[in-house]
Chain A
Amino acid sequence: MQHGKYRFIVGFLVAPLALYAIFVIWPFVQAIYYSFTDWTGLSPDFKMVGFANYTRMLHDDIFWKSLQHSLLFALLLPLVTLGLALFFAFMLNVGGRRRKGAAITGVRGSGFYKIAYFFPQVLSIAIVSLLFQFAYNPNDGVINGTLKAIGLGSVQPDWLGDPNLALWCVMAVLLWSTVGFFVVLFSAGMASIPKDFYEAALLDGASRATTFFKITLPLLWDTVQSGWVYMGILALGAEAFAAVQIMTVGPGGPDYSTTVLPLYVYQSAFRDANAAYATTIGVALLIVTLLFAAIVMRLGRRERLEF
């Protein structure tokens, strides 16, 4: 096996590695370097300014707002999403009435639910955001139209136009579009839990809630944990950027009530022509993301259960 091995290894690695280095690694390294300069992005001239960008960032109210919103997206949103998804998945796989033949089944029609819940996952976040932007419209939108139709004409919120509501509206959309994915993911995990465990618990008179907390959740913990990291990274990055940038006024408004870190990076670089400052915020985003992943993985560490 030795003959020509290294030539083969190099030959196979060079193209993917070169592409990856040029378009991914190198820009990351550059970005960190630029965060210590006063580069505008428009002219090729710049000089080192030390930590000036970082000092400026720490005194920037918009940065703190973006950070706060991004943290909310990374901590609260996955909590609600995963919680709801766990509930649905449990109902669809274990929660069914005991029927003939099998002691453990999902509720009736669980196959249909699994297919339907997954729909939003295959759609672009751009399509989803546009649909909901239309639905949230305070004058002609479907939501307020429906409220009027059922006699709640006095309750006509501004939704995305209301600084107190806008962020929650965006979160609701992200929730809507991601729950289905986790339902299917957790269903796959639950299917691999041996049925005897449930049967034994039911024989001992355990309620469904008990079986969920004592059997399903511990055995599914690894999946829940990686799901949280996965969702958090999306909610800190691309998904949140797209939803906020497409749906909200400004974007990021009203009154910076929905701005998130990736959006602020984008705006600083390409709207305010302040590339160096943008990379500084980007570095903060990088630190937040890595810390988030490390903390969730660490907090969630438990003894691995073999079954």
Chain B
Amino acid sequence: MKTTDTPPPVEPVEDRTQVVKEKVPPEKAKSSEGGILNAFSHGILIIWAIMVVLPLLWAVMTSFKDDDSIFSSPWSLPDKLHFDNWSRAWSQAHMSDYFGNTLIVVGFSLVGTLVLGSMAAYVLARFEFPGNRFIYFLFVGGMSFPIMLALVPLFYVLNNMSLLNTLPGLILVYIAYSLPFTVFFLTSFFRTLPTSIAEAAFVDGASHTRTFFQIMLPMAKPGLVSVGIFNFLGQWNQYMLPTVLNTDPDKKVLSQGLVELATSQGYKGDWSGLFAGLVMAMLPVLAAYIIFQRQVVQGLTAGALK
């Protein structure tokens, strides 16, 4: 709207102030056009929400049905809650083992990733030494390499070290492949922390190591939480690394175990057991997400926004 040279008619000006101050809907034609657009885009938003939520709800519902009704009436509610599906999946289909293995692997590798990652990041962020940049880019470059390429030789490296198909081997690999992002993220985080406190501690006679563990780490807590959530989800959901490097049926982790379950239950025709297993794996993460919603979102998006 140009109102500079021609003397403005009074109406539009009034109209404008109305829009801003009183939120009176603009002229008729405009509002109906806006209304259609609004309804249309709101409709798409609702459809997408349904498309996301419905399959998950449907999976939960299906896990309580018996095998016949899964196929005969996929959309109806279960006649009664078949909890036996869940107990069958938990014990007979080894879901309990998969859970246990995943907890061990993710527990150790998460702690290992955070400790080693923050140590490397701290040194790279705060100390000048020859090769600093080189090491930093060595770590960061790892983010864009296709992991699959390394997995072929890594399979034989682990085999030679007798670490293939063992949980400790998997833990070490998880840590190593989580380092690039962790170092990248925490290096920029440590750079934002003030230097004066660490210097004061150093003047007071604290060693570098002590300064790091007692002063810098507590200060870096928000960053550690973000990167910790990112790594937790990545490692908990990891599928490619265990598929290649951990093929022993007794050592399988959750995601591969589920795929295994799908194959074997498919033969047995135990679909309800499979769905119980799927939902069992799905619910803890979803519940954790809903509870820690804000932190999870921050943790997962922080890296890309840096």
Contacts and interface: CB of A to CB of B under 8 A. Distances in A.
On whether the two chains bind one another, the answer is yes
A194 interface: no
A28 B150 contact: yes
B144 A119 contact: no
B10 interface: no
B239 A242 contact: yes
Interface stretch (A57-65, A151-159, A182-190): A182-190
Contact of B175 (A19, A120, A127, A131): A19
29 contacts: A4-B207, A12-B209, A16-B116, A16-B183, A17-B120, A23-B172, A23-B177, A26-B157, A28-B149, A28-B150, A91-B42, A113-B45, A115-B290, A119-B289, A123-B285, A124-B238, A125-B237, A126-B259, A189-B305, A202-B19, A205-B1, A223-B305, A227-B304, A238-B148, A245-B243, A246-B262, A265-B152, A285-B146, A289-B144
Interface string A218-252: 00000100110110010011100110011000000
Contacts of A226: 304
Nearest to A289: B146
B20 A203 contact: yes
B301 A188 contact: yes
Contact of B286 (A12, A122, A204): A122
Taking residues whose C-beta sits less than 8 angstroms from the other chain, chain A's interface range is 35 or more
B23 A100 contact: yes
A13 B120 contact: yes
Nearest to B33: A207
Interface string A256-295: 0000011001100110000100110011011001100100
Nearest to A139: B71
Contacts of A123: 237, 282, 285-286
Contacts of B116: 15-16, 19
B264 interface: no
Contacts of B233: 122
B305 A91 contact: no
Contacts of A24: 142, 145, 150, 176-177, 179-180
A116 B129 contact: no
B304 A176 contact: no
A135 interface: yes
Contact of B152 (A20, A126, A279): A279
B148 A265 contact: yes
Interface string A75-113: 000000000000110011001011110010001000011
Given A124-B258, A184-B297, A223-B305, 14 more contacts: A1-B202, A9-B129, A11-B209, A19-B176, A19-B179, A25-B142, A28-B150, A107-B41, A116-B49, A118-B289, A130-B278, A246-B262, A265-B148, A293-B144
A306 interface: no
Nearest to B38: A97
A12 B123 contact: yes
Interface stretch (B54-62, B77-85, B217-225): B54-62
Nearest to A186: B301
Contacts of A189: 305
Contacts of B122: 12
Interface of A: 1, 4-6, 8-9, 11-13, 15-17, 19-20, 22-28, 30-31, 34, 41, 87-88, 91-92, 95, 97-100, 103, 107, 112-127, 130-135, 140, 142, 145-146, 149, 176, 179-181, 184-185, 188-189, 199, 202-205, 208, 223, 226-227, 229-230, 233, 236-238, 241-242, 245-246, 261-262, 265-266, 269-270, 275, 278-279, 282-283, 285-286, 289-290, 293
A120 B149 CA distance: 27
B52 interface: yes
Contacts of B45: 88, 91-92, 107, 113
Given A119-B56, A246-B259, A22 B157 contact: yes
The 6 A-B pairs with the shortest beta carbon distances in the complex, nearest first, are A282-B149, A124-B237, A23-B176, A126-B255, A27-B150, A8-B208
B258 A127 contact: yes
A246 B304 CA distance: 28
Contacts of B244: 266, 270
Nearest to A282: B149
A103 B151 contact: no
B145 A185 contact: no
B36 to A, nearest CB: 13
